[in-house]
Structure 1
Amino acid sequence: MTTESALTPDSSVTFINVFEIAADELDAFVEKWEERARLMRDKPG
């Protein structure tokens, strides 16, 4: 990473994660995913 492209404390990061979920487990997965997203959104940093 060069100085010009260095991240700053205000920089954002895009994280892409791939999951394989059984169709009958999808609703429960999405519910937990949204719960964790709210938790992370409300934390500083």
Structure 2
Amino acid sequence: MDPGCRPLPPLAVTAAKRRRTAAMRFWAEKPVAARLGWRSQWRW
């Protein structure tokens, strides 16, 4: 591993934030799906 390489580049951070916001939006839009069995599939 190079010392100059960061463990978490800003691009990955922004991607994670975008993914998290997208997931929150998806769950906010579809609570019925979450109740039916999406939780068992996502392991939350």
* Pairwise TM-score range, normalised by the shorter structure: 0.3 to 0.5
Higher helix share: 2
User: What is the TM-score of this pair, normalised by structure 2?
Assistant: 0.44
